A and B are shown apart, each in its own frame.
Chain A
Amino acid sequence: MQEVGAFVIFFASIFTSNILLTNFLGMCSYLSVSREIRTAWGLGIAVVFVMTITSVANYFVYYYMLVPLQLEYLEYIAFIIVIAALVQVVEMIIERTSDRLYASLGIFLPLITVNCAVLGAALFLIIRKYDFYQSLAYGAGSGIGWMLAIMALAGIRAKMARRSKVIPALEGPGIVLIVTGIIALGFIGFSGIVQIN
C-alpha cells in the first residue's frame, strides 16, 4: 500500500469509504446519541480525538511489540486494552486541564471504549498494511467521517422531531435507518473521486 498517499487515505476515509456509512461500524452509539445536535457534536469530537490517538498507538503496539514477539494472534486483546487505557488517560488529562471540555466530553468518553468504530479502524489499518503516516491519516479521517455522519443525522432528526409526522411503527430506529440509508446513497456520489479498497 506504499503507493497510496496519506492525504488520499485521509479524504477517502471521510467520504468514499466512510467507516459508518460503508462499513457499518459504530452503529450503536450512532443510533442512540443522535437525538440532539449538541450531544452528537460532543461525541463526534471525542471520537475524532480518541480514534486518531488509538490508531497511532495501535500501530506502534502491533509493529513494535506484537510482531517482534510473534504474538500477532493477541492483537484483539492488545487493541482492546490499549483503547480502554488510552480512553482513561485522555479522560484524566481532560479532567485536570480543562473543566469546560470535561463537562462537554466527560460522559461520552467511557462510551467510546466499546465503540466498534475505534477497534474497527485499528483492525483495518493492520489488514491493509498501512505505514505510520497512512495510519495517522486513516484514524483521523475515519473519526471525522464518523462525526460528519452523526452530525448530519442529528440535524435531520432535530428537524424531523419538530415538523414531520412519522408512522408510529417506524418511529425511532426504523426511520433513522431509512434516513441513514439515504445519507449513504448520497455519499455514494463521492465514490470515484478517490479510491481505496
Chain B
Amino acid sequence: MAISSKKIVLDGIWYNNPIFRQVLGICSTLAVTNLFVNTAVMCLGLIYTNAVSCVTASALRSITPFRLRIISSTLIIAAYVIVLHNFLMAYLPDISAQLGPYVGLIITNCIVLGRVEAFSIQNRPLPALIDGVSSAVGYSIVLLGISVVREALGFGTIAGLSLPWEFTKWTIMLMAPGAFFMLAIVVWIARWWGMRREELQKSSK
C-alpha cells in the first residue's frame, strides 16, 4: 500500500480533519479553549503524544496480538502522557495547574486511539509519524481558532494581550455553552464549504 506523504498530510489537516469529519476527541481539549495559551500548550502536547504513540504502535505492530491491540495501544499512549504530564509540571507549573486533569485525559482522547487503530497498526513507522503529526495539527488548528474567538470575545484579549478597543465582554463565551456554540459554527462552516465544493465539481463535469 503506497500512499504518498502529501496525501496523508492533506487528509489529516483538511479533507479528513478529525473535527469536521468525525467530531472526535473534543472531550479533553475543548474544555481549555477559553484561553489561547492553554489551548496552545494542550495542542502541542497532543501533537507530541499522537506522533510518538503512532510511531511506537506502528513499530510494535507485528508483535502485538490482535485481540490485545486496544489495551496495548492505550498503555503506550498512557506512558507518553505520563512523560508529558511530568514535563509540564516541571517546566510550566502554572499552566499545568490550570489544565488540571485534562492533560491526563489525552489518554482517552479518541483521536489518538483512533489514528493508532485506523492507520498505525497497518502501516510502517514513517507514514505513521506523518499521519500522526498531520491529523493532530489539523485538530490543533481548529481548536486554536476556537480559542482565539472565545478569548477575544470573553476576556477582550488575545494570548494575554488586550485588544485596542473597548466593548462589553461576552461572559457566555467563557462558560461551557460558548464552546459548544463555537464548535457547532466551525463544523457548520466546514461542512457547508465541503458540500459547495462537491456541487461545483458535479456541475463542472
Binding site for B on A (CB under 8 A): 21-28, 31, 73-77, 80-81, 84, 113-117, 119-120, 123-124, 127, 167-170, 173-175, 177-178, 180-182, 184-185, 188
- In the complex, A175 Cα to B101 Cα: how many Å? 28
Contact B105–A180 (Cβ < 8 Å): no
Q: Which of B78, B109, B113, B191 contacts A170 (CB 8 A)?
A: B191
Q: Which of A24, A74, A80 contacts B179 (CB 8 A)?
A: A24
Contact A76–B180 (Cβ < 8 Å): no
Given contacts A76-B85, A123-B101, A188-B177, contact A115 B191 (CB under 8 A): no
Chain A residues with Cβ below 8 Å from B188 are 167, 169-170, 174
Given contacts A27-B26, A28-B25, A114-B74, contact A184 B105 (CB under 8 A): no
Given contacts A28-B27, A168-B195, A182-B177, contact A115 B71 (CB under 8 A): no
Tell me the minimal C-beta distance from B57 to chain A in angstroms.
Answer: 15
Verify if B183 is at the interface (C-beta below 8 Å from A). Answer: yes
Q: Which of A31, A77, A180, A185 contacts B82 (CB 8 A)?
A: A77
Chain A residues with Cβ below 8 Å from B195 are 168-169
Binding site for A on B (CB under 8 A): 23-28, 30-31, 70-71, 74-75, 78-79, 81-82, 85-86, 100-101, 104-105, 107-110, 113, 172, 175-181, 183-184, 187-188, 191-192, 195
Name which residue of chain A comes closest to B195, CB basis: A169
Contact B27–A27 (Cβ < 8 Å): yes
Contact A76–B104 (Cβ < 8 Å): yes
- In the complex, A127 Cα to B102 Cα: how many Å? 11
Contact B23–A31 (Cβ < 8 Å): yes
Q: A115-B108, A124-B101, A181-B178 are in contact. List 12 more A-B contacts (CB 8 A).
A: A28-B26, A73-B86, A80-B75, A113-B70, A116-B28, A119-B105, A120-B101, A169-B195, A173-B184, A173-B187, A174-B187, A184-B180
Chain B residues with Cβ below 8 Å from A76 are 78, 81-82, 85, 104, 107
Of B70, B109, B181, which is in contact with the most chain A CB atoms at under 10 Å from its CB? B181
Name which residue of chain B comes closest to A29, CB basis: B110
Given contacts A28-B110, A76-B81, A80-B75, contact A181 B177 (CB under 8 A): yes
**What are 18 A-B pairs with beta-carbon distances under 8 A?**
A22-B176, A23-B31, A24-B26, A25-B28, A28-B27, A74-B82, A76-B107, A77-B82, A113-B70, A115-B108, A116-B27, A119-B108, A120-B105, A175-B184, A177-B183, A180-B180, A181-B181, A188-B177
- In the complex, A28 Cα to B175 Cα: how many Å? 20
Name which residue of chain A comes closest to B183, CB basis: A177
- In the complex, A74 Cα to B81 Cα: how many Å? 10
Tell me the minimal C-beta distance from A181 to chain B in angstroms.
Answer: 3
Tell me the minimal C-beta distance from A185 to chain B in angstroms.
Answer: 5
Tell me the minimal C-beta distance from A19 to chain B in angstroms.
Answer: 10
- In the complex, A105 Cα to B24 Cα: how many Å? 23
Name which residue of chain B comes closest to A27, CB basis: B27
Chain B residues with Cβ below 8 Å from A115 are 108
Chain B residues with Cβ below 8 Å from A21 are 176
